[in-house]
Amino acid sequence: MRRTVGALLRKELLVELRTLQSVPGMSLFAVSTFVVFHFALNRSSVEGDLASGILWVTLLFAAILGINRLFVADSEEGGFDAFLLAPVDRTALLLAKALTLLTFLVVLELVAVPAFALLLLGPSIGRALPDLLGVLALGDLGVAAIGTLVAALAVRTRARDLLGPLLSLPLLVPIVIGGARATAPLLASGHVQAPAPRWLLTLGLYDLIFGLIAYALFDFILED
Amino acid sequence: MPALEVEGLTRRYGEREALGGISLRLEEGSTLVVFGPNGAGKTTLLRVLASLLRPHDGTVRVFGRQLPQESWSVRGRVGLLGHEPLLYRELTARENLLFHARLHDVADARVDGLLESLALSGRCNEPLRLLSHGMVQRAAVARAVLHDPALLLLDEPHSNLDPAALELVDPLIGAAAGRTRVICSHDPAGGLGEADVVLGLRGGRPALLRDARDVTPQEILELYR
């Protein structure tokens, strides 16, 4: 299984490095959105709930761009068939794709969080950074599990560009709520508070539930 | 034990029946050549035999294993060469084959050997999108036989190949390789030359199923009229 996941992950990252179809688009979208917020809100800086909401909603929409493209090369170039013909555990594809999406999200955040701090955020992000990274990591796990499941489902339909976001958005809303609530105290001005444990627990539980659902359903989605 | 046993196979796409009433038996090491006009169901038959499509009715056994229930034990024993190469355009031929080698647990040396025997070594480090159709087809042949499958499913395998390339691929997918083969073809003379058994399809239904020695090219041409 590890060897198969490794081969699949290596292939995914090679294809992305050669085509640059997902991560640059996701990053550019996030930075552009921050610029739009900057002018639309007519404020030079934001903090607290508003800052947290802007950050999570932007990351959510940028993630959807990546989710929509996650299986496109496999669908268009026959990678699905080639994988299905191989004598390997199909869960390997779920794990490899989820890890790929997770990698894309981490790279996106490496660009988006500093850009957010520079363009919009009022308070300094320095002291809040370790906690913020923890909350983002919890959110990323859920997005990766849900995104992989939805992308595999949508790519086999003719309306994949529409179906991907339509299915992802409602499923990802609890992650945005949990992530935004957990992040808000970190981005408040003055004394930085730790995220409320209940929101971290909510995110963790949601990740676990959708991780298990993805594991249970993925084989059926791949089947004819 | 026969390599293939198909009884009353039906496959539909929505309401449309793509294949119906297909029954056949093929011994190990034999070649079945399938003829029929475009849309007759040839590719669908190959995809069912490859366990990529479920039969909607009837039974399909490959090496004694029933599909789709036991398809896990058939995977890895089947090599499929279809209209699409099943290779990533942005990866090189070598990267593609190494990827498939990992999936099938095949040694890297086999990849290099195949690239050499198919005269692809010189350009195996260029992305596939830069190669000609013929070279991509040769890479696809390498992909299909990489894991030394006992059953080869070949959909017009000679398309895009020039005479020199045909000589290169023949030891791998020709009769001399000794594999059980199912070949879809539009070439009556060439196809009959390869066949032990001939299946003619028209509108998804069997119009001809006979020992190849008893079939004339004229009968095959009739399928297209």
β pairing state of B205-211 and B197-202: antiparallel
Q: How far is A26 from chain B (nearest CA, A)?
A: 20
Does residue B225 register a pLDDT over 90?
A: no
Confidence band, pLDDT 50/70/90 cuts, at residue B31? very high
Write down the pLDDT at residue A191.
65
Angle at A195 between CA A190 and CA A196, to 5 degrees: 120
Contact A137, A205 (CB under 8 A): no
Confidence band, pLDDT 50/70/90 cuts, at residue B114? very high
On chain A, the residues whose CB falls within 8 A of the CB of B141 are: none
pTM: 0.90
Contact A8, A1 (CB under 8 A): no
Confidence band, pLDDT 50/70/90 cuts, at residue B159? confident
Domain count, chain B: 1
Write down the pLDDT at residue A126.
84
**Nearest CA among B65, B41, B33 for reference residue B51:** B65
Which residue of chain B has the CA closest to A82? B86
Write down the pLDDT at residue B178.
87
Which residue of chain B has the CA closest to A13? B91
A114 touches chain B (CB under 8 A): no
Q: How far is B68 from chain A (nearest CA, A)?
A: 10
Residue B112, domain extent = 90-144
Write down the pLDDT at residue B81.
95
Mind listing the pLDDT tens digit for each residue in A151-207? 999 988 888 888 889 999 999 999 999 999 999 999 888 766 888 899 999 999 999
Tokens of B109: 């040396």
Q: Which of A85, A157, A224 to mutate to test the interface with B (most CBs of B within 10 A)?
A: A85
Residues in chain A: 224
Q: How far is A217 from chain B (nearest CA, A)?
A: 17
Q: How far is B189 from chain A (nearest CA, A)?
A: 31
- Residue B27, domain member (yes or no): no
- Residue B65, domain member (yes or no): no
B104 touches chain A (CB under 8 A): yes
B143 touches chain A (CB under 8 A): yes
Mean pLDDT over residues B55-68, rounded?
Answer: 93
Mean pLDDT over residues B200-207, rounded?
Answer: 92
- Residue B123, domain member (yes or no): yes
**Among B50, B52, B88, whose Cβ lies nearest the Cβ of A79?**
B88
The beta strands (E) that lie in chain B are given as 4-13, 16-26, 31-35, 57-62, 65-67, 78-81, 151-155, 180-184, 197-202, 205-211
Mind listing the pLDDT tens digit for each residue in B161-193? 889 999 999 999 988 888 999 999 988 888 888
Contact B212, B193 (CB under 8 A): no
Scan for tokens 């003619």, then name that residue.
Answer: B200
Contact A88 B100 (CB under 8 A): no
Tokens of B192: 């009959």
- Residue B2, domain member (yes or no): no
Mind listing the pLDDT tens digit for each residue in A51-110? 999 999 999 999 999 999 999 888 888 888 999 999 999 999 999 999 999 999 999 999
Q: Which residues pair with B92 in a beta bridge?
A: B127
